Amino acid sequence: MINLEMTQKMIEIKNGMNGVAQSMLRPISRHYDDNEHQYPKELDVFRSMKIMSRPKKKKKDGEEQNPDKPGAKKPGSNLAMTITIEEMCWGDLGLLLSLPNAGLGNAAIIAVATDEQMEQFGNKWASMAITEPGAGSDSGSITTTAKLDGNEWVLNGEKIFVTCAERCDIAVIWATVDKSAGKAGIKSFIVEKGRPGFKLDKLEHKLGIRSNDTGTYVLDDCRIPKENILGSPEVKQSTEGFKGVMKTFDNTRPLVASMSLGVTRAALDFTREKIEESGIKLDYEKNPNNVSSLEKEFYLMEANLEAMRLLTWRSAWMMDNGEFNNLEASMAKAKSGRQGTLICQKCCDLLGPLGLSCDHLAEKWMRDVKITDIFEGTGQIQHLIVARNILEFSSKQLK
């Protein structure tokens, strides 16, 4: 069973990352929001750190047991990562997304790259390019093509809303090698910056996470080595290859949920501070029927924050213990993305003028948190995944 108490190691991670967020990220948060697309040079200290790595293979005699609880499954790197991300995003979400060598593309490479590809690309900053002008939430509808020509793949198409589009070293491009095969024909390719035919067309001006660069790629007869395909180039009748790449999201959706946790907690902490400064004492021993509407709103927001955290921790714990977490990852992402957005908006409501003033970060948190309900699968897509899992329907049966 999952143990909901934090271990000493988890507490140390939380405190350490909160210190980084408070001393490094919070002080520069407003500056890089105002100066969109400017690279935060303060983050260069993370370049030498191995933020994402491939987990070691398990020993043949089974999993290493938790020494504190004989026979119990243990918290591991994924749960530690969710705690780390929550604390960092308490500092600033856009800056967290700008950490070198920690892009979504890196997660895909770790998940499906060969040992040779890990050796060549494992230490490079990788973006993930999936979305197209005509293919958003339905990743299976992409039209970017990849054709084999001798010892090279030739890629053509356009990718939009790519996170870290300018700052990355390489990009993981999703393309189809056989349109008639549908999802089974979709593969991912590693494209290095500077390749002829690979162009960063523009950078977006955004509502939130403005310290992070989001851009558009155009591929025009872009040639890459044959070996730069992730996974097998074989097109089978099944969609197992596509599903394998999509499983990357089962690993990263809990991390997106953690991003919402961090921003939402920041907004609640600030709101609590201002409520108490106004002379209102939040008393959890009061009868729920005898509290003001403001207190009631705050307690409800705190309860939703805790629900977000427990769902997120559950999905991360399942990953650490080798359990299939597709349902739980989507539940965590759907709950955190939606409730985080609503809570940050409500905090600005309760704060009044302080919630709109650029002298404080509340309005920025409201703008930043919205992305967690959109990228890596919108809230609506997460509800579809949850429904399919519970009802045991396929994607064709429930759209």
Q: For residue 294, which phi and psi values (nearest 5 degrees)? A: -65, -45
Nearest C-alpha neighbor of 331 from the set 387, 393, 268: 387
The per-residue pLDDT for 137 is: 77
Q: Are the C-beta atoms of residues 347 and 263 closer than 8 Å to each other?
A: no
- The answer regarding whether domain 240-391 maps to CATH 3.30.465.10 reads no
CATH: 2.40.110.10, 2.60.40.10, 2.50.20.10, 1.20.1250.20. Which one for 124-230? 2.40.110.10
The per-residue pLDDT for 247 is: 66
Q: For residue 392, which phi and psi values (nearest 5 degrees)? A: 60, 45
- Catalytic residue positions? 376
Extract the runs of DSSP E, i.e. beta strands, from the chain.
126-129, 145-149, 152-163, 170-176, 186-192, 198-203, 214-225, 229-230
CA dist., res. 298 & res. 303, Å (int)? 9
The per-residue pLDDT for 85 is: 96
Q: For residue 269, which phi and psi values (nearest 5 degrees)? A: -60, -45
pLDDT digits (tens, 9 = 90+) for 168-185: 999 999 999 999 988 889
How is residue 340 written in tokens? 């985080």
How is residue 163 written in tokens? 């996170």
The per-residue pLDDT for 2 is: 61
Residue 314: strand, helix, or coil: helix
CA 129 to chain centre: 14
The per-residue pLDDT for 184 is: 86
Nearest C-alpha neighbor of 74 from the set 317, 285, 284, 316: 317
Q: Residue 104: CB partners within 8 Å, gap ≥ 6?
A: 126, 127, 128, 163, 172, 248, 252, 376
The per-residue pLDDT for 52 is: 67
The third-level CATH classification (topology) of the domain covering 8-105 is Butyryl-Coa Dehydrogenase, subunit A; domain 1 (1.10.540)
The per-residue pLDDT for 55 is: 59
Angle (CA) 341-347-352 rounded to 5° is: 130
CA dist., res. 176 & res. 183, Å (int)? 8
168-179 b/e (C-beta count within 10 Å ≥ 16 → b): bbbbbbbbbbee
The per-residue pLDDT for 71 is: 41
Residue 222's DSSP bridge partners are 155
CA dist., res. 162 & res. 201, Å (int)? 11
Query: For the chain, where do the domains classified as CATH 2.40.110.10 start and end?
Result: 124-230
Q: pLDDT means per 10 residues in the chain (399 residues)?
A: 77 96 97 96 87 58 44 71 96 96 89 90 94 85 95 98 96 94 90 97 97 97 96 62 67 95 98 96 89 95 97 94 94 98 98 97 98 94 95 90
The per-residue pLDDT for 344 is: 98
Query: For the chain, where do the domains classified as CATH 1.10.540 start and end?
Result: 8-105
Query: For the chain, where do the domains classified as CATH 1.20.140.10 start and end?
Result: 240-391
pLDDT digits (tens, 9 = 90+) for 260-272: 999 999 999 999 9
